[in-house]
Amino acid sequence: MIITEKDNLDRVHFEMIVENSGALFGINGIAYFLTKMLRKGGSLKNPRTKFLQKLEDNAIKLDVIAGREFISISLSFLSEKQKIALNLLEELLTYPNFTEENFKKVKKEIDAERKAKNNNFNSCNTSRTLLDVESVRDCEFPQILKLYKHLFDHQ
């Protein structure tokens, strides 16, 4: 399902919902890990920092979230940047930076996130996020690739 909305300030909000893809439809943590890799990894053409810099240079906000029943990919941008925003989204979904090296980087980030949450007794973040962060500990790279191919790679 795709939802687009344009507001009075000439901003476009684009959201793509991938149904039957969230935490309920896979091994615990895999959907969360996949969204983190998409959000932080960039594409093979523009890895990690370069991809994030392109988003920032064009004032494009990208968010990829794993819910219980779906994965949501959303973009916010000025309408004049629509072509660039949609091209970057296509690049991200067609050529994601799903390499073993990027997998290890994201796993380290998630582990640091988990440790920070365990040390923060005043955290207002509920157990859902903590559960997702906890459950990725046993995720393996082939599981992430399998879910990605199932959801997005229909060649």
Is the separation of the CB atoms in 27 and 147 below 8 Å?
no
31-to-80, 116, 146 alpha-carbon distances in Å: 32, 21, 11
pTM more than 0.95: no
- pLDDT for res 19: 85
Q: Give the model confidence (pLDDT) of 53-109 as tens digits.
A: 999 999 999 999 988 888 899 999 999 999 999 999 999 999 999 999 988 988 888
Outline where 58-140 has alpha helix (H).
82-94, 100-119, 127-135
- pLDDT for res 78: 96
Domains defined for the chain, CATH in brackets: 2-152 (3.30.830.10)
Q: Give the model confidence (pLDDT) of 101-128 as tens digits.
A: 988 988 888 888 877 777 765 555 444 4
Residue 136 φ/ψ, nearest 5 degrees: -80, -10
